[in-house]
Structure 1
């Protein structure tokens, strides 16, 4: 089968990340999957954003939700400390990340997962939904985010087309136990494989492919610098597809395709060789 192309945060190099216009553009480019990131607002709404805090790298405050709101400015605050109404005031379309030459989309807002599902459900794409937690989170908060996310995806009838992704592998073990109908992708990078790591749900970092199989992952997604032909062979021997991230040049896309990876995550879906 041909190597799949997954649009990273939509089409991060071309349009504002984790926005509806970005997803629409990625669909126009013919991606096989849309990768997106979710968090939970203070009032329990699943929203899209890469970081646990609102970053000035890609977000801009406009105005407080009410004139005397003590939480304003919102950029720099944690998503889980802000309501949906507060998050909605932030412009997500006018501040391209310095590494990219995005076409700005003034007025693009932080969408909810429900809104993203409404856009993506009619399209023939897979959803790769990354849950943004870290090892400091208690399991109760992981379960809150996971349950709310799964509820939205089920309501949109997208269960069979969705994979749940996480660097914090406790998300995956919880999903395995409570929501086994969803695919589960074990993300990892150099940072999460450091000595003494707490990212891998108690597993040692010396053999992440075997550890991912042990926790019931249905695919592995390693950082590109960790992805070798031997890793791909090991994962395939364990029945695990390999989704490499983030690959932004046609030359590297060709190289990883020759390695036998199953999918490539890219900021630039228009660079498919």
Structure 2
């Protein structure tokens, strides 16, 4: 509905009424936690506007990894217009373009969320099994430090496909929820994503690694998986569900939360099932 991982996107979600806002973070070369869906800057959601300084040999920045760029370089990017490589991108038809919208830092998002009482913050840390252990720990600690500075750890959950992040989150942000993300590729034979846990029983593996929530991709979310997780007292958060019929189906499965790009659609489905809705937050509260 709005450009992803941007302050206008979160503001719109809060004004619609959501329980939690979800975002993705990376770490710049100078150690700042910034938002973006992928580790490498994609031309689909980002465009260069000019170098951070004259003669910058790293320019253009799109196509490079966040870890190789400074905050000043990342802040030059325009995240306000989606530019898909195919004609069937569903978000082009529904997303309001907002030219010259920058990628925010996690601190900037926390400042907004400090004005949104009762709304949680779901922070997905983008790492992969190729990251050295010290880098995973440093990144997790950096995220926890920002959340702690705004007194938001108790309202936050840390998400990761790379379950080593969950181990570190238990150390650096013990009061935050820890969400074990899974999809088909992370459950393959010989997987390195699960921090040594066996993929045959994802719910048990998530519990054993110290997760407090299991979050499966929607294709993996079956009634049996929901029952297995609930038997271990693990809530189930299914992602990413954008069609109302699928939303309704997962409600009947008994999932505890649904991640969607279209909170307006989900609100209508929840209302149809007689379920409570989160209250919209008005602009004066947020601003």
Provide the TM-score with structure 1 as the length reference: 0.93
Structure 2: runs of 5+ lacking an equivalent: 270-287
Alignment of 1:77-96 (within 5 A): 77-96=64-83
**Relative contact order, higher structure (CA 8 A, sep 6+):** 1
Of residues 189, 204, 214, the one that matches 1:220 is: 214
Equivalent position of 1:99 in the other structure: 90
Equivalent position of 2:180 in the other structure: 186
Distance 2:172 2:122 in 1: 18
Equivalent position of 1:174 in the other structure: 168
> Is the aligned partner of 1:150 residue 2:137?
no
> Is the aligned partner of 1:115 residue 2:108?
yes
Distance 2:250 2:192 in 1: 29
Equivalent position of 1:230 in the other structure: 224
Per-residue deviation, 1:96: 4.8
For the aligned residue pairs, the C-alpha RMSD in angstroms reads 0.9
> Is the aligned partner of 1:129 residue 2:123?
yes
Equivalent position of 2:34 in the other structure: 47
Distance 2:188 2:16 in 1: 36
Q: Give deviations 1:177-232, integer Å, cap 9, x for gaps.
A: 34322110000000101111100001121111100011110000000011011111
Distance 1:73 1:202 in 2: 38
Count of residues paired in the alignment: 260
Structure 1 moving runs of 4+ over 2 Å = 95-99
Stretch moving more, 143-152 or 95-104: 95-104
| 8 A Cα contact 2:43 2:83, kept in partner | no
Provide the TM-score with structure 2 as the length reference: 0.89
Per-residue deviation, 1:95: 2.2
